[in-house]
């Protein structure tokens, strides 16, 4: 009995020590597993330190921003091959369709929508001209920001263009030097009818976006330049006018800023070629002057877009 008791005590003490060590190990594992939530930076260092190869990979792998910059740089340094032209009205689109001998393509866009795609090759450029078509209920051109946004998004997804040209007619402001028949290359686009009088939301409503910088194109073609203001009404309310003045706009349309928003969202460069049909701050009613000059001004637009494509042909984005 005297010998057995010390042995039992020793065995019990050893079991207790082993149990304590297991408890300590579980506590250690539990603590390490909780590191990502409590000390994420320290946890990352512990993991990277376990393997030098992992450390090298972490250092050498480019970030998402670096990859995006590399892709953009590659695109800007190769010749432009694919052009997406977005035009709101049939009267604006058909002269270009005939000029470049484009043919209608039915398979590129979603079924059931009135949008029309014309395709063809002009010199070294693959041209895709998209017109939103006629409203299915009323049979008029699908003008305005909603159709422009949808068409731009769907076309970019389907066609993956190198450059967007939003071509069309616009109203001009005499106070800013615009005249009927002038063709402008817009420097920036903004909305004038999205008024949200809350800090920061007001800037979102305006939605100012810069057009793709093309100083060489501007110089070569001697086009006028000015800011473009966009709204969903042909006329101009006093509130619209105040916003247009605040936007420092020279021309006014119903699609440009919507195209600019989607192009910026999907990281596709866009330029805006607009021909003036009416003088918004002039004496004649806007709708009357617009209809009176539409055919003649569309001819000027046709000529300007052709000159733009001639200049773009064989060049990289960085050369525009």
Annotated catalytic residue, options 92, 141, 253, 289? 92
Pairing label, strands 270-279, 224-230: unpaired
Contact 170, 228 (CB under 8 A): yes
**Cα dihedral 262/265/271/273 (nearest 10):** 20
Sign of CA dihedral 129, 134, 140, 146: negative
Pairing label, strands 82-86, 163-172: parallel
283 is a catalytic site residue: no
Measure the CA–CA gap between 180 and 182, rounded to whole angstroms.
6
Annotated catalytic residue, options 141, 162, 253, 278? 278
**E strands in 69-223:** 82-86, 103-105, 116-122, 125-131, 163-172, 183-191, 209-210
Contact 230, 253 (CB under 8 A): yes
Beta bridge partner(s), residue 276: 170
92 is a catalytic site residue: yes
Q: And the tokens for 193?
A: 């009818």
Look at residues 87, 121, 133 and name the one whose alpha carbon lies nearest to residue 305: 87
Measure the CA–CA gap between 227 and 253, rounded to whole angstroms.
11
Measure the CA–CA gap between 290 and 270, rounded to whole angstroms.
25
Contact 317, 267 (CB under 8 A): no
Please identify every residue annotated as catalytic.
92, 278
């Amino acid at each position: 009995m005297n010998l057995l008791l010390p042995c039992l005590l020793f065995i019990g003490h050893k079991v207790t020590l082993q149990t304590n060590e297991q408890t300590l190990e579980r506590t250690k594992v539990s603590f390490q597993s909780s590191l990502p939530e409590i000390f994420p930076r320290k946890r990352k260092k512990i993991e990277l330190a376990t393997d030098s190869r992992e450390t090298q990979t972490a250092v050498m792998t480019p970030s998402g921003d670096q990859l995006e910059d590399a892709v953009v740089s590659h695109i800007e340094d190769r010749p432009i091959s694919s052009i997406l032209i977005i035009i709101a009205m049939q009267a604006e689109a058909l002269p270009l369709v005939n000029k470049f001998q484009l043919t209608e393509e039915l398979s590129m866009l979603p079924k059931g929508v009135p949008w029309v795609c014309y395709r063809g090759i002009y010199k070294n450029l693959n041209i895709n001209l998209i017109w939103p078509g006629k409203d299915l209920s009323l049979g008029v051109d699908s003008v305005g920001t909603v159709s422009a946004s949808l068409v731009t998004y769907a076309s970019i997804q389907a066609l993956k263009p190198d450059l967007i040209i939003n071509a069309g007619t616009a109203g001009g402001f005499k106070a800013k030097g615009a005249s009927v028949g002038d063709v402008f290359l817009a420097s920036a686009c903004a909305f004038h009818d999205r008024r949200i009088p809350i800090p920061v939301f007001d800037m979102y409503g305006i939605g100012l976006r810069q057009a793709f910088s093309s100083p060489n194109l501007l110089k070569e073609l001697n086009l006028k330049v000015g800011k473009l203001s966009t709204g969903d009404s042909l006329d101009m309310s006093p509130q619209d006018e105040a916003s247009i003045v605040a936007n420092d706009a020279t021309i006014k349309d119903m699609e440009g800023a919507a195209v600019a928003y989607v192009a910026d969202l999907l990281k596709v460069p866009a330029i805006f070629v607009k021909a003036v049909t009416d003088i918004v701050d002039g004496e004649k009613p806007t709708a009357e002057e617009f209809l009176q000059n539409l055919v003649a001004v569309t001819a000027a637009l046709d000529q300007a877009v052709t000159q733009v494509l001639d200049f773009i042909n064989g060049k990289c984005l960085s050369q525009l």
